[in-house]
Every structure is written in structure tokens, then in C-alpha cells.
Amino acid sequence: MATEITMPKLSDTMTEGRLVSWKKSVGEKVSRGDIIAEVETDKANMELEAFVSGVLLETRVKPGDMAQVGTVIAVVGEAGEQAQPLETEAAQPPPDKEKPPPDTEKPKPPRAPEEPAAAAMEAEEAPPVAGRAATGETEKASPMVRRLARERGIDLKLVKESGQDGRILKEDLELFLKGKPVQGQVREPEKTGLPETPTEPEPVPEAEPRPVTSGEARPLSRMRAAIARTVSRSWREIPHFAVTVAIDMGEAEEIRRELKGSGISVSVNDLIVKAAATALGKFPQVNNSFAGEGITVNAGINIGLAVSLDEGLVVPVLKGCGGLSVKEIAARSRELVGRAREGKVSEAELSGGTFTISNLGMFGVAEFMAVILPPQGAILAIGAIRDDVVVKEGRVVAGRVMRATLSADHRLVDGAYAAGFLGELKRALENPATMLL
């Protein structure tokens, strides 16, 4: 019996998704767990797994199209089985044009009333890209890359790809703008119009940006709209307060150098995650959530890592931190953050967080307060490590100081308790050898 595959709800804020590409073709065998499609949500690009085995009988949503959560996007069944037609098809008059071949895609279900207007708006604002629909560029470039190409008036057919399966990466676009071929590959002059042996390649001029009218209102992207809803809810519902502590990071930096010398790659942020997990174990109220008139006790320590993307922010979750070594945290977080930046994180990797760390130290930010991510009860904001004076054994000496700010839900945590958490964080980071035992 044929099984309908619907657009899943891949995040708590998702109401619709864009079908980026199909990874299986109609008539191709599908096994349970196979990746059959890539879907763009309001948080990231995610891979859609098949939950049944069989043959892909039909796809009902084309690459690049939007679909509401719950909409049937494909049908999987036995070879030769006929997919059940859409209910709306019987009520519609037969089209005037010639009936399409049986193996082509059937019309997608009707959208909600507001969607055609939104699609028209997008079509009006986006500069035309030659052959985009015909050449399948939606399948070889992420939505972010396509958007950047539209903004700069670049035809993606002229960009040499370096990603897996022929995908165009953001780096390829940047190299194209600089007039340089991708490393290890030569762009063909007849396709790009560039001279064959340039001594000093001339940068391709960027398209003139669309003039901005004062007071103009522009629609939010799906990711930015989701962020707006989340932070508005957080600030409206959670009574925030913040506590800051200065931490001498000299020993932590020295430990990191020693580990690197022995072939173990560990970042300062990995040490911070380990120290935070240690402190959460001793001050578990910071790891809990407020729920109505009660408290949700979170037994596991699952730390979210705020990752900045060009189009917004995602928070993949490193789970089970309480039982992980520094080396394990380093390996898992490196893989997790890498997938988040590539837009390949799964729904499970974006959910279940009990505490979040936001680190802006790499941008030179000395100190800041972060907004709590509901339904969590706290978030840790990390600033840059800077040269400063510290007192050691009664002597004033030069030190490397980092400021950490805990934003906490006052319904869960009081000031003294928050200070105790930061005190344990400080103790662990100023004595990093204890975290390696």
C-alpha cells in the first residue's frame, strides 16, 4: 500500500518549508533511513529521511517550491503501484493543454491564500537568473548562495562548483566575484568571458544594489522571523537578570597549548563548555526550566552552542555534556558546528537544549548580556580574553582575563545562586588541569 510522505515539522517554529532538492528520483528504490530530500526551514537546511521502504512513486512538490507542514510532498509504495490521486484533482476541470506523461510530477496541492502573493513578491524583487528553473540550480546551491547570487546579479551557471555532488559553495561565489578560479580547477574562458591567461585578473564588478527608500518596509526572511518571535517571547515572558565575573584564563590558554603540542586539538570554547557542564552539575537549578506554576527538572546537561550564520543564528545542541571529556567535547562540537554552518543539522541536533553558551570573544567583544532561549532558564555570554592586571598571592601581575555573564530566569534562580554557579565556572577555568582528570 502506498505511503504518503508529508512536509515534516523540523523545528518548533516551523510552519512551512522550501523543498531544496530531491535526492531520489521517481521510480528509484528507497530504503528506510535513506535521505530522499533536502528541506530549508526557518533555522537551517535539513535532510529528510524516508521512514518506509519501497519505490518513490511520485513527487508532488518541485525543488524551490514552498509547502505547508503536513502537505503531501511524495508517495512511496511498491513497484508498479499507482499513487492515490489528490482529492482536489477530481473537482478541477481537465486542463486544456496536452496531458503530461505519466512519469512527470503531478500538480502540487493548492497553497494557502497568502502564499501566491508572497511568491509574486519574491519574483518581483529577485533579479532574473537565466535558466535557473531549467538547469536545476536549486539542486546545486543552497538557498543562501542563491540569494547572494540574486543580490549580486550573478548567473550561477558561470560559477565553478567545488562542493560535494557538484554543489556551489559560498566560497565559490566569492572567488567568482574576485575573478579567480576555484583552486585546482580552471574556469573555461568561453563560458565565463575571462581571458585565458590573465596576469592580474580583474574583479567582476558587483551589481548595483537596489536603492533603499527611507521608511521602506521589507519582509523578514523565515529565519529572521523565527528569531524575532523567539527573542520577543523570551523578553516578554522571562524576567531576566544578569551577573558577571572576571576569570583569569592564563592557565586555560597554557593547557590548550600543551594539548595542541601533543596532537589534541581543543579550543578555549571547548574548555568553557566543560567548565559550564561541571558548574551545572553542582548548581542544577541553572539547568532547569520554568513551566507554568512549576519547574521542569532536566536530568541531562545538553548545552546549546550559538552559531552565527550569514542569514541569522542557529543553536545546535551538544548532548550529554556531563559525561563527556574535554577531548570528546572538542570532537563533537567541531563536527556539530561544522554541520550547522553547512546547513546540515538535523531536527534532533537543534532541540533538547537545557543551557546555552554564546561566545562573541572572537569579535573582540569584552562583555555582553545574552537573551535566554525559551524554555531554558539561563544562557552564558562569553567575552574576549584580554591582557589585564590580576592579583596572585598578594602580587599584582599581568594576566589574561575573560568576562563571563550569566543571564538567568529570576523565577528559577536568585542572585546568590547565580553567583555560586559563576564561582564554580571560574574555579574550573582557573584550574583547568582538574577538568582533564
Give me the mean pLDDT over the 319-326 stretch: 95
**What pLDDT shows up at residue 311?**
76
CATH classification of the domain holding 132: 4.10.320.10
Last residue of a domain, one of 174, 192, 210: 192
39 and 173: one domain?
no
Please count the other Cβ atoms lying within 10 Å of the Cβ belonging to residue 393. Answer: 5
Whole-number mean pLDDT of the chain?
A: 79
Looking at mean pLDDT, say which of 71-80, 144-153, 354-363 comes out highest.
354-363
Residue range(s) defining the domain that contains residue 173: 128-192
CATH classification of the domain holding 48: 2.40.50.100
- The secondary structure of residue 215, as a DSSP letter, is T
**What pLDDT shows up at residue 142?**
67
Residue 288: all three cell numbers together: 532547569
Position 435 pLDDT exceeds 80: yes
Query: Strand pairing of 303-305 and 317-318?
Result: antiparallel
| Distance separating alpha carbons of residues 378 and 173, to the nearest angstrom | 39
- For this structure, is 410 an active site residue? yes
pLDDT per residue over 84-104, tens digit each?
665 544 344 444 444 444 444
298 and 168: one domain?
no
Residue 211 lies in a domain: no
Residue 214 lies in a domain: no
Nearest one of 349, 344, 358, 345 to 320, comparing CA atoms: 349
pLDDT per residue over 203-236, tens digit each?
444 445 556 667 777 787 777 888 888 899 999 9
The count of structural domains within the chain is 3
Nearest one of 60, 88, 92 to 73, comparing CA atoms: 60
**What pLDDT shows up at residue 306?**
95
> Do the Cβ atoms of 26 and 59 come closer than 8 Å?
yes
| Distance separating alpha carbons of residues 54 and 76, to the nearest angstrom | 6
DSSP codes, 251-280: HHHHHHHHHHHTT----HHHHHHHHHHHHH
Residue 208 lies in a domain: no
CA geometry: angle at 230 spanning 124 and 422, to 5°?
140
CA geometry: angle at 300 spanning 40 and 253, to 5°?
85
231 and 186: one domain?
no
CATH classification of the domain holding 338: 3.30.559.10
Residue with more model confidence, 59 or 183: 59
Residue 203 lies in a domain: no
pLDDT band at 14 (very low <50, low <70, confident <90, very high): confident
Query: Strand pairing of 378-392 and 355-359?
Result: parallel
Nearest one of 316, 305, 302, 307 to 345, comparing CA atoms: 316
367 and 419: one domain?
yes
Please count the other Cβ atoms lying within 10 Å of the Cβ belonging to residue 116. Answer: 11
Which range has the worst mean pLDDT, 179-193, 314-328, 370-384? Answer: 179-193
Per-residue HEC secondary structure of 344-375 comes to: CCCCHHHCCCCEEEEECHHHCCCCCCCCCCCC
HSE toward the beta carbon, residue 187, CA cutoff 13 A: 25
Position 397 pLDDT exceeds 70: yes
- Can you list the alpha helix ranges (DSSP code H) found in 136-249? 137-140, 143-152, 170-178, 189-192, 222-237
Residue 231 lies in a domain: yes
**What pLDDT shows up at residue 226?**
81
Residue 134's Cα: distance from chain center in Å? 28
Which residues, at least 6 apart from 354, have a Cβ–Cβ distance to it below 8 Å?
280, 287, 288, 289, 298, 300, 301, 302, 303, 376
Which range has the worst mean pLDDT, 235-249, 337-351, 414-428? Answer: 337-351
| Distance separating alpha carbons of residues 182 and 398, to the nearest angstrom | 45
Give me the mean pLDDT over the 399-409 stretch: 97
Nearest one of 16, 91, 100 to 58, comparing CA atoms: 100
145 and 12: one domain?
no
Last residue of a domain, one of 136, 170, 192: 192
| Distance separating alpha carbons of residues 316 and 336, to the nearest angstrom | 7
**What pLDDT shows up at residue 437?**
74
- Catalytic: which of 62, 167, 327, 410? 410
Position 191 pLDDT exceeds 50: no
252 and 175: one domain?
no
**What pLDDT shows up at residue 10?**
67
Residue 409 lies in a domain: yes
**What pLDDT shows up at residue 208?**
53
| Distance separating alpha carbons of residues 62 and 141, to the nearest angstrom | 15
11 and 55: one domain?
yes
Residue 200 lies in a domain: no
Which range has the worst mean pLDDT, 13-17, 209-213, 330-334, 367-371? Answer: 209-213
Sheet-wide strand order for 72-77: 3-6, 72-77, 54-59, 29-30
Residue 248 lies in a domain: yes
322 and 359: one domain?
yes
Nearest one of 184, 182, 132 to 155, comparing CA atoms: 132
Position 121 pLDDT exceeds 60: no
353 and 276: one domain?
yes
275 and 343: one domain?
yes
178 and 56: one domain?
no
141 and 249: one domain?
no
